[in-house]
Amino acid sequence: MSTRSLIAIQNSDPKSCRSLYLHFDGYPSGAGRILIDHYNTEEKVEALLALGSLSALGERLAPEPGEKHNYDAPTGGICIAYHRDRGEKLRAPTVWNSAEEMLSQASDKFWAEYCYLFRDGKWYVDSTYQPHGWRLVSEALEEHDDE
C-alpha cells in the first residue's frame, strides 16, 4: 500500500510553487522526517526536484560512484526516481499558481494524501483529504510522537 504525496518548493515569486510526485511513504513520519533531516536547504530541495517523480524518497539523492543501485535492487537510503532508475520519461515538476491550488488538486490529480512545501527555509505539511492549514513538519512529528 502506498501513501502518495507531493513535495514542493515555493518559487521566488510570492505565490507559485513547483512539486514532484512521491509514490511511497508520504506520511509525515516517513517523507516528512526525511525531508527535514536531509533536504533542508534550497539547493538540496532543487536537486531533489531535478530527479522528477519518485517511487521512494531516500536520505541520499544518488548512489556513490560504483555503488550498485536500480529500481529492482534499491540500495538503502537512496531515492528511487522513475526516470533515472526505471528508464521512464522524465516527469518535470508541476507548476502551481499557489500552494493552496496544489493542495486542493493534489488528491484528484495525483491521489496524494499529503503535500509538503519548502518555504523560507522550513518544511510545511498539510493533508489533502482533511486540510487543516500548513503547519511545520517538525510540529506534525511532535504531535505524532505524543500520541
C-beta separation of 70 from 88 below 8 A? no
CA dist 57 and 22 (Å) reads 7
Task: Please name the amino acid found at residue 50.
Answer: A
How far apart are the two ends of the chain, measured CA to CA in Å? 23
Each residue's pLDDT tens digit, 38-74 = 999 999 999 999 999 999 999 999 988 887 776 665 5
Tens-digit pLDDT profile for residues 106-144:
999 999 999 999 999 999 999 999 999 999 999 999 886
**Residue 53: Cβ-neighbour burial (10 angstroms; 0-12, 13-18, 19+):** buried
- How many angstroms separate the Cα of 55 from the Cα of each of 20, 48, 71, 80, 147? 11, 13, 9, 5, 29
pLDDT at 8: 98
CA distance 125 to 10: 13
Angle formed at CA 100 by CA 97 and CA 102, multiple of 5 degrees: 65
pLDDT of residue 147: 47
Q: What is the pLDDT of residue 144?
A: 66
